[in-house]
Every structure is written in structure tokens, then in C-alpha cells.
Structure 1
Amino acid sequence: MTLPRNAESAPLVRHTLDASLRGLGVASEIRADISLALGEACANVIQHAANGMEYEVRARMNGTRCVVEVIDGGAAREEPEAVQPEAVQPEAVQPEPVSWDDAQEALLAEHGRGLQLMRAFTEELRIADRVHHDGAIVHFEKSLAS
């Protein structure tokens, strides 16, 4: 499904996938896990996608698994022009590495809990940059076995 990037689209896609899975006889607990993860992935695209007025949701059965991808509808990237490398100034300050405490703090912050929920309720969660487009793809899978 290709959907407008607005808050009303997330419930629509969740209900559509849930009805399809119910029709295939998938247990309600598993459907609820998929629906929760899908809702979080859609909310992330709706809230954070910088480009594009639409996003795409793909769902398929892969054996005994449901595979879902939520794709940010970012704009196509133009090939970058050749850029001459700049000389590094000796006084340039290099960024400090992120510490484990900073990572933990970000993980426990109010924003970012969607990723925790998706990890808890699905398997094979991956987030990848799109090739030749701005944006990202959220990929998750869920076993359909009870």
C-alpha cells in the first residue's frame, strides 16, 4: 500500500493487514504483535520522514512468517558532483565518540521507545538506508506459529 504521510493512514494500514491475517487464520496474539510493530514503524515515518508526502507498506507471507517493510517515500537522490577533498585543518576538533551511558540514555528516552517495542514483539528487525533515495526501510518479521 502507498499511503499519505499523515496520522490517519497508520490505523488504516494496521486494520487492513490485521483483517488479511485474520482471514488467513493467524492467531489474535500474533496479529496484535504485528499490528503494534506496524503502528510504531508507521508513526516513525509519519513523524520523522524529511522528504516525500507518501510512504509505502509491504507485507507478505514467507513460509510461516509475516514479513513487513515500511518504506519512507523520500525523494530520489541525484548523483553527487565530484568534489575536491578539503585539507584538514590541524586545529579541527574531532567529534567525541558516543559513550555507552549516552546510548543507554537515548534508548530510555521517551522518543525511541517505538524501536524497543518493535524489537520486543517481532523478529529480524532491521532499519536500513534506501539505495538511490533519501529515507529508510524498516523491515521486521514475525513467526506465525503460536
Structure 2
Amino acid sequence: MEVVLEMTLPRNAESAPLVRHTLDASLRGLGVGSEIRADIALALSEACANVIQHAAAGMEYEVRARMDGARCVVDVIDGGTDDAVDGVTGWEGAPAPPLAESGRGLQLMRAFTEELHIAGRVHRNGSIVHFEKSLAS
């Protein structure tokens, strides 16, 4: 069975729990274990938090997820500006120190997913955060 979710969300703090719970319910329905669901929820939370905090030009963002029983593939797409400050976008730059209270989202997403790619949108402002996670325990 394949499950596909596509959501367009307002860029506000209330949207992240909604998309996280929706994706988690779908994964639970597919019989995915709690540890794998928690890893995906953490990565999704970090990607959404970055959009909510930094994609100032866009009022909405999209989350697309596809689960086929073997993998979960997630894209978080924002319409933020492509402008970089001193050549550094919201996803680039030096890693945050281990005890920092913010700025570690990218490190966390890398640690809890198997594939992570971040790219600019073609012919549009914004970024696409793409991550994948195996659903096998």
C-alpha cells in the first residue's frame, strides 16, 4: 500500500504539530514502529521550524510525504526568499555548537534520516528540504 499526503499550511507555529500528527497517524496505520516514527517526526519538526522562522517571504509552505511500506519520503517546500545574508542561507553555514539551544536542525535531520538534500526551487523563490527514512525496524 502507498500513502501520499500533500498539505499546504500557514507559516505559523500551530501548523507544525498538525502536519507531524497527520504523518505519524499514517505511519502508525502502516504498522511502523514508534522509534522510526519518532525519528521522522523529529526531522519533520526541524524542517517545519526552519520554514516558520526563516522563510519570511512566504505566507504558506507545503509538506509532501509518500510512504510505501518500505520508505518514507518527505519534502518540505517553502516560498521564502533566495536572498542570502553574507552568502549564507538559512540552511548553510558553520554547524552550531553541541550545547547551542538553536541552529542544530540540519545536524539533527542528518542524524535521524538516511538521506537529506536541500535545494533551491527551480524558477521560484524558496527551498526544498527532502529527506528519506527506511521504515524497516
- State if a TM-score over 0.5 links the two structures: yes
Structure 2 counterpart of 1:32 = 38
**What displacement does 1:10 show?**
0.2
Moved over 4 A (4+): none
Structure 2 counterpart of 1:4 = 10
Contact 1:74 1:133 in 2 (8 A): no
AA paired with 2:33?
A: A
TM-score (norm 1): 0.76
Q: Deviations over 1:65-118 (max 9, x none)?
A: 10000000348xxxxxxxxxxxxxxxxxxx9xxxxxxx6xx3024342000000
Q: 1:14 aligns with which of 16, 20, 30?
A: 20
The answer for unaligned runs of 5 or more in structure 2 is: 1-6, 87-92
Structure 2 counterpart of 1:122 = 113
Inter-partner Cα distance in structure 2 for 1:36 and 1:140: 12
Q: Deviations over 1:25-61 (max 9, x none)?
A: 0011000000000000000001010311000000002
Structure 2 counterpart of 1:44 = 50
Task: State the aligned residue count.
Answer: 118
Contact 2:8 2:60 in 1 (8 A): yes
Contact 2:121 2:128 in 1 (8 A): yes
* RMSD over equivalenced CA pairs, Å: 1.7
Higher helix share: 1
Q: 2:96 aligns with which of 108, 121, 125?
A: 108
Identity of aligned residues (%): 83
TM-score (norm 2): 0.81
AA paired with 2:45?
A: G
Q: 1:136 aligns with which of 96, 121, 127?
A: 127
Inter-partner Cα distance in structure 2 for 1:10 and 1:71: 13
- Pair 1:55-2:61 in alignment: yes
Inter-partner Cα distance in structure 2 for 1:65 and 1:20: 13
Inter-partner Cα distance in structure 2 for 1:124 and 1:20: 21
The answer for unaligned runs of 5 or more in structure 1 is: 76-94, 96-102
Inter-partner Cα distance in structure 2 for 1:63 and 1:23: 10
Inter-partner Cα distance in structure 2 for 1:46 and 1:10: 9
Inter-partner Cα distance in structure 1 for 2:25 and 2:68: 18
Structure showing greater Rg: 1
Inter-partner Cα distance in structure 2 for 1:122 and 1:42: 15
